[in-house]
Amino acid sequence: DLVLSARLILGGAPERNMIALINTRPAERAVYDRLKNQKESLMRERLEKRRPAYCRSWHGRLNGRKDLPNVDYALLDNRTGTLVLAELKWFVAPDETRELADRGEEIQKGVSQCRKLMAAIAHNNSLLTQFGGVKNVCSLVVPANSIGMSYVQDEEIPVINEDHFLEELASAADLAEVAAWLRERRYLPKRGRDYISASPIVSFFAWELEWYGFAPLTEEEFLPLSGRSSNSTSSRQAADP
């Protein structure tokens, strides 16, 4: 007789594991790419359903420039003349070191695409004539479930999760406020305000090891938004060693 642990069934994620396996096989990569494109279309639909009334949306190529990346999702606020260009990234949430590296490459590709768009706009502002009256442009990468490791973050191109981006759009008064929030990197935690460095002791049988990490200074979920102070009401004061 064969006995299976209930954990194998209840604690498994067969769909996720199958997609992750397909992604590792070069022969099946085209299947994964098609699935990824479908998922990114669903991301665009989710963003569109929660699009604020103060802006309109668009996606496609800038004035038919085939040499430039597609704009996955753009938001335009005519009142403030603000245009936000978003590169959408869907992938299976990373579960191990190898997957973190793979997802990091996808995020870096998105950052590179945003940089190409912004450089082309800076060189030729007429690319934006189809929108009319644009005074302020910013670009960002919007992954569905992971912003990756610190080394894939970029000083000029923000990387922010889909759910966080949606909450910010709902919180802000207009798109100019969103653009300023992104440029000032207020979506990221700050040492001494949101967290402190920590050196926990990790035990393994008779051995003890001083490890590295951090300790949060907030009691609620970290979700800074421009429409409210960044978790200031629940912060616990502490000095960073």
Residuewise pLDDT in 10s, the chain (241 residues): 666 666 555 556 666 666 666 666 776 666 666 767 788 889 999 999 999 999 999 999 998 788 999 999 999 999 999 999 999 998 777 777 777 888 888 899 999 999 999 999 999 989 998 898 999 999 999 999 889 888 888 999 999 999 999 999 999 999 999 999 999 999 998 889 899 999 988 888 889 988 888 889 988 888 899 875 444 434 333 333 3
Burial 181-202 (b: 16+ CB within 10 A, else e): bbeeeebeeeeebbbbeeeeee
**Residue 39 contacts by C-beta under 8 Å, 6 or more apart in sequence?**
90, 144
Is residue 157 within 8 A of residue 141, CB to CB? The reply is yes
